Structure 1
Amino acid sequence: MSSSSKGHFVGIADAMNNNRINQRVNLIGVVTEIGLPKQTRGTDCFCTLRIVDETSPTTGISINFFYETFEKLPQIASAGDIIQIFGAAIRSYVLGVDAGTNAVVDKKYSAFGLYEGKDGSNLVPYQVSSKFRVKKQDDIFIEGLRKWAVSRPPDPDIAASGDCFLLKDIDEERIMEGQTLNLICKVLHVCEVKQGEWMLFVWDGTDAMPLSINTKIEDEYENSIPLLLEPSPLSRDVLCKFSTVGNVLRMISNRHQKLRLQSLKAVVDKWVQFKNISFEVQGGLWYGILLPTSKFSYLSNEDDLVLQRLRTYEERARGNSKRMPLSCIPSPSDIIYTDHNDAPLVTLMDVLCHPEVIGKFKCVVLVVATMPGHPSEFRASCGTYRLRLTLEDPTARIHAYLYAEDGVKFFGGDPSIDALIKMHKALLGIEETNSEKPRNPPWVELCLNSYNIDEKDVWASRRYRIFDTTFMVTVTV
C-alpha cells in the first residue's frame, strides 16, 4: 500500500515533515514499542507508543497519549497489533540534546482504535476510545498493513541481539556501575504486592549469578535473610505454573515514580523485550527496576531471539545434570556427601511444586544462612541437634531443618566446637581469616525430605528436613 493510497490517513514519513507541525492528522500503523503508563504531574494518565508503516518501516513515529484514567490508555494485546488514530497533533520537541517530531493524542480532540495485527483476523477493534467510530472503508488499510507486516524489516533495536542480556549475564559489577540493560524474557505473572504496588515475575530459562551475602550470620534471630522479595508467598496455583528450571526475576517500578504496572497484565504469558531496566539487590536477591524511561516491545513466539532462549531452556530441562545451576557446572563442592546417588537431581522449585506433600529429593544449593548463627548453639541442652538452614538455588529459597540423628550424621557424630565452627564457615563461605567480608557459599548437594505439620492444611504447613547428608570433616577450609 503506497503513501498515495492511504485515503484520509497520512503516511508516517509525511506526518514527520516540518510542514505538518501543529497540524492534526489521521495515522494508521503497526505498534512496535510501548512505554510504561504513568501519572502526569497533573490529573491525566500518560503513555507512549511507537508505530511504523510502509513509509517509515523502521524509525516510525512516537505518539504520546493523554487520558483521564489508565484504563482509557491503549492496552496493546500482542506483537504487531495495529492502531488507527484520528486527530493526532504533530509536534516538534527538544529534549536535552535531542530534537525531533512526535504526535500527541488527547481525550478532547483525538480518537483511536486497536486491531489484531495477525493476517486473517477479524476486522473488529478490541479497544476503542469514546470518540472512535468504525469506518468500513478503513478495512482495506488494516488488511494491507497486516499483509505488509508479515515481511516488514525487523525492528533494529530488537534485532541487535548483542544489546539484549540474559539473566545469567547480570553481575554485581554492572549493578555497582548503575548500568541499565535490555532484557528479553517471558512475563509469567503480574500481581499487586502492596496497596498500589505491583510486581512482575519474568523468566528467560537461565540463572542469574548468585550474590555474595553481606548480612551478619549472628543477625538471623533478629533479622532473618528473606526467602522472598514479595510480602507474602504466591499461591500454590500460581507457583506451579512457573518453570522449575531457571531464575524467576522480580521486577517493580521505581519507588519514586507512579508507574501503572497493573496495566501490564496484558503481557502475562508473552515474550517481551524490556529496554532501560536497572537492577538492585535486597537480602542477597536480584530484582529489576522499571524506570520512567523503560519501554517494552512484544515479541512473536517465532522470533529468533525467543527461539534461542527456548532451545537453551529445553536443553537444560532434559536430563539429570542439566538441572544443576549454571554457575555450579561441572559439579558441586566435595565438602558434602549424600547417600542417594541414584536419586534424580531436582531444583528447589521442583521441590516446592511437587504434587505429593511427602517426598524425597536431591538438590544442589547454597546454604546462605543458619539459625542459630553460632555453632555453639546448634544443640539443645539435652544434646540434640536442632538448627534451620536457609537454602538457595536459582529457582527459590527455602528453610530446611537439621534435627536429631540427621544432625549427628551431617556433622559426623559429636565433633568439637572448633571443628563445628570450621565446618560452619566452610558451608557458608565465610573466610577463615576475615569473617567480616561478604560470604560466598559453595554449591553443595543435599538430600531433602518433605513433610507436613498440619493435616488440615497440608500445603501451607509443608516443611523440609535434611537427611542422609554428611559433611566431610577432613576437608580443609
Structure 2
Amino acid sequence: MENPLPLQPVDFILQRDVLCTLPPLGTVLRVIVDRCNEKLGINFLKSNRWVKLINIRCELHAALWHAVLMPFTRVCYLSDEDDIVLQRMSQYDERRKSKWGWMPLSSFPWSSDIAETDYPNVPFVSLMRALANPKVIGKFHCVVRVVAAFPWLAEDFRSPSGVYRIRLTLEDPTARIHAYLYKEDAEQFFDGYPSVYTLTKKRNLLLGTSEGDDGSEMNDHFRNPPWIRCCLKSYHIDDSDSWGSRNFRIFATTMKV
C-alpha cells in the first residue's frame, strides 16, 4: 500500500512494558471502550483475569481488527477452572511447546513458498515475542504478511547511488512492525538487481496485489498477502537510547520467484 499503515491505533499506543505482559501467541483483539460503555462496568475489570465478552461487534480500522462494545454487550468473569479456560490454556501450552506451533493458524498447513530463509530448521517465533525480547539485539525466524511498502514505486527502491533502502510493514496475529530491507540483505532478498518491471511484480506478489494482463497493478481493495517465512534481526542506532531507537531488519531471506 502506498499510504503507510499505523503499527497501533493512534489513540491506543501501548508502551513496551505493557506489550511485554501480553501472551506471545494467539490473536490480539483490541477492545474499544468509551463513556457509552461505562454501565457495563469495564472500568472495574481487574487485570490478569479471564473474561467472556458476549455480543460484541468486530470492525476493521486501518486494517486492524477492533472489538466494539455495544449497548447489549455483556461481560462476565470466568474462573481459572472453567472448562473454556482449561481448554484454551491446554491449546496454548501445546502450541507454545511445539516447534512449529508459533506459526499463525491461518498459515496452516504451511506458509507460502515464494520466500525461503537460510535457516529453515530454526523454530518460528511470533512478532510479539520479537518485540518483547529482553535484549535489544536479537535474531528471529518468523511467519508474517507484508501489508505495506515504502517507498511504493519499485523504481524508488534504490537510492540515487544504487543502494536498496525499503521499509516494509509486517504483521502476524500478535503484532505489526516496520522492518527494513537494506543493502546486501535486500540484494539477497530480490536476488540481485532485477528490472523495475520484475521488482514491481515481486512487490505485488508480496502484498497480494492483483495485476492486469500487462502486469500493471489494479486498483484492488481486496488484497490477500501471502504468509511468508523471513529472518529478522533487531538493532539500535543510538547508544544513548537503545530501546527508543530499536529497529528491525530482514536478512538471510530470498524471494524464489
TM-score (norm 1): 0.51
Q: Distance in 2 between matches of 1:290 and 1:340?
A: 43
Which stretches of structure 1, 4 residues or longer, exceed 4 Å deviation after superposition? 260-263
| TM-fit CA distance, 1:265 | 4.2
- 8 Å CA contact retained: 1:253, 1:291: no
**One of 231, 234, 241 as aligned partner of 2:11:** 231
**Structure with more strand by fraction:** 1
- Partner SS, residue 267 of structure 1: coil
1:295 equivalenced with 2:74 (yes/no): yes
Q: Deviations over 1:404-452 (max 9, x none)?
A: 1111111111101111111111110011226212211000001111001
Q: Distance in 2 between matches of 1:232 and 1:286?
A: 13
Q: Deviations over 1:84-135 (max 9, x none)?
A: xxxxxxxxxxxxxxxxxxxxxxxxxxxxxxxxxxxxxxxxxxxxxxxxxxxx
Q: Distance in 2 between matches of 1:247 and 1:264?
A: 23
| TM-fit CA distance, 1:275 | 1.6
| TM-fit CA distance, 1:258 | 5.6
Q: Deviations over 1:33-90 (max 9, x none)?
A: xxxxxxxxxxxxxxxxxxxxxxxxxxxxxxxxxxxxxxxxxxxxxxxxxxxxxxxxxx
- 8 Å CA contact retained: 2:37, 2:70: no
How is 1:281-360 mapped onto 2 (pairs within 5 angstroms)? 281-360=60-139
What is the identity percentage for the equivalent residue pairs of Structure 1 and Structure 2? 48
Q: 1:425 to 1:378 in 2, by over 3 A?
A: same
1:435 equivalenced with 2:218 (yes/no): yes
**One of 213, 228, 233 as aligned partner of 1:444:** 228
- 8 Å CA contact retained: 1:401, 1:465: yes
What is the match of residue 254 of structure 2?
A: 470
Q: Distance in 2 between matches of 1:453 and 1:397?
A: 20
| TM-fit CA distance, 1:455 | 1.4
Q: Distance in 2 between matches of 1:465 and 1:261?
A: 43
- 8 Å CA contact retained: 1:253, 1:261: no
Q: Distance in 1 between matches of 2:40 and 2:5?
A: 27
- Partner SS, residue 231 of structure 1: helix
1:453 equivalenced with 2:234 (yes/no): no
| TM-fit CA distance, 1:231 | 2.9
Q: Distance in 2 between matches of 1:378 and 1:262?
A: 50
Q: Distance in 2 between matches of 1:420 and 1:351?
A: 28
Q: Distance in 1 between matches of 2:96 and 2:219?
A: 38
- 8 Å CA contact retained: 1:278, 1:289: yes
What is the match of residue 148 of structure 2?
A: 369
Report the AA paired with residue 465 of structure 1.
R
| TM-fit CA distance, 1:267 | 3.0
Q: 1:455 to 1:265 in 2, by over 3 A?
A: farther
- Partner SS, residue 322 of structure 1: coil
How is 1:169-184 mapped onto 2 (pairs within 5 angstroms)? none
- 8 Å CA contact retained: 2:40, 2:74: no
Q: Distance in 2 between matches of 1:400 and 1:318?
A: 27
| TM-fit CA distance, 1:294 | 1.3
Could you say which structure has the larger radius of gyration? 1
Q: 1:402 to 1:261 in 2, by over 3 A?
A: farther
Q: Distance in 1 between matches of 2:15 and 2:41?
A: 18
| TM-fit CA distance, 1:315 | 1.2
Q: Distance in 2 between matches of 1:457 and 1:382?
A: 30
Q: Distance in 2 between matches of 1:232 and 1:297?
A: 24
- 8 Å CA contact retained: 1:452, 1:459: yes
Q: Deviations over 1:364-405 (max 9, x none)?
A: 000000000111110011110001000000000000000111
Q: Distance in 1 between matches of 2:29 and 2:138?
A: 27
| TM-fit CA distance, 1:260 | 6.2
Report the AA paired with residue 246 of structure 1.
G
Unaligned residue ranges in structure 1 (runs of 5+): 1-216
What is the match of residue 248 of structure 1?
A: 28
| TM-fit CA distance, 1:360 | 0.9
| TM-fit CA distance, 1:235 | 2.2
**Residues paired across the two proteins, number:** 252
- 8 Å CA contact retained: 1:348, 1:393: yes
Q: Deviations over 1:288-311 (max 9, x none)?
A: 011122111211110111111111
Unaligned residue ranges in structure 2 (runs of 5+): none
- Partner SS, residue 259 of structure 1: helix
TM-score (norm 2): 0.93
Q: Deviations over 1:167-216 (max 9, x none)?
A: xxxxxxxxxxxxxxxxxxxxxxxxxxxxxxxxxxxxxxxxxxxxxxxxxx
- 8 Å CA contact retained: 1:379, 1:385: yes
